[in-house]
Amino acid sequence: MEVPAVLRAGLPDRVLLLDGHGGDELLSAITVIEGLQPGSRVVAAGLPIVVEGETGLALDPEHAQTAPYDSPWTVRTTWPDPPEPTLRPDELLKVHGIWDGSGIAVSRVTVTREEPKPLQQRASAGRPIEPSRYAILRKALDALTAADLLAAAHTTPGSDLVGDLCVFDAPTAQRVLRAEGIPITQFRIVRCQWTRTELGTARGLYAHVPDELLSAFGEAVTEQVQPQVLLEVKLVTPDLARAVSDLPTGLVKVTPYIRPDA
């Protein structure tokens, strides 16, 4: 998705942001954004909770009864007139307000539908890879890993190919596979867009996110057979925004629960 120029003005151009609940707003698509600071206008969705006498939101409903406000899954809220809505099982409370550094001063409340989070969506079921193909795949992965050439791999059940291989140097990877007696026609071999250093840095980003902000992390393979690092966080801090902005566009996708409000 092409980001409108108005969203680019004055913002870091390499931080990818998704709606933490997979909603259908503009921000549920890939969007450019900067880190939150006290005074930022924000929006978040969750279930209303009370922890130690303070009102808040369970940003991840699975943690609605267990997580304190210094966890990644809940946030303290203050509002002049706390609502008492009756929510259906698939609904969440959506709050708009000001981030004060530790919570949200709420100015407006609506109700929204809950949808699966990107990191928890299941892949469609398919046939498992055949044992003979798995043996070829395992041998190829071991050879490329030993040669420090493998960036990512992907298999598609039912495909005529054993799998897709993303490598740092395609000609060298082909020579390595041939030397091991592995037929390269069994694979689609794609050159990695990222360098080893860039990918290694991206994979290590999660270790620099405070525990109270990091909800989940992982990695996906895009339709172009490129590795993409995934981070699910309570919010994007200025430090995280700067760290991601130092990496190539598309390498890291950040999904925050609390995000800037347009």
pLDDT digits (tens, 9 = 90+) for 78-90: 987 766 777 888 7
Dihedral angle of Cα 142, 146, 149, 153, to the nearest 10 degrees: 20
**Which spans in the chain are helix H?**
5-8, 131-146, 170-179, 196-203, 238-245
Residue 116: the pLDDT is 55
Positive or negative: CA dihedral 14, 20, 22, 23: negative
Residue 88: the pLDDT is 80
Residue 64: the pLDDT is 64
**pLDDT tens readout for residues 117-137:** 554 443 434 456 677 888 999
Residue 223: the pLDDT is 92
Domain at 12-120: CATH code: 2.40.50
Q: What is the domain partition of the chain in residue ranges?
A: 12-120
Return the DSSP state at 38.
T
What residues contact residue 5 under an 8 Å CB cut-off, 6+ apart?
none
Tokens encoding 156: 């598609």
Task: Tell me whether residue 122 is exposed, middle or buried, using C-beta atoms within 10 angstroms of its C-beta: 0 to 12, 13 to 18, 19 or more.
Answer: exposed
Contact predicate 80/107, CB 8 Å: no
**pLDDT tens readout for residues 40-80:** 999 999 998 888 889 899 998 776 666 789 999 999 999 87
Residue 121: the pLDDT is 41
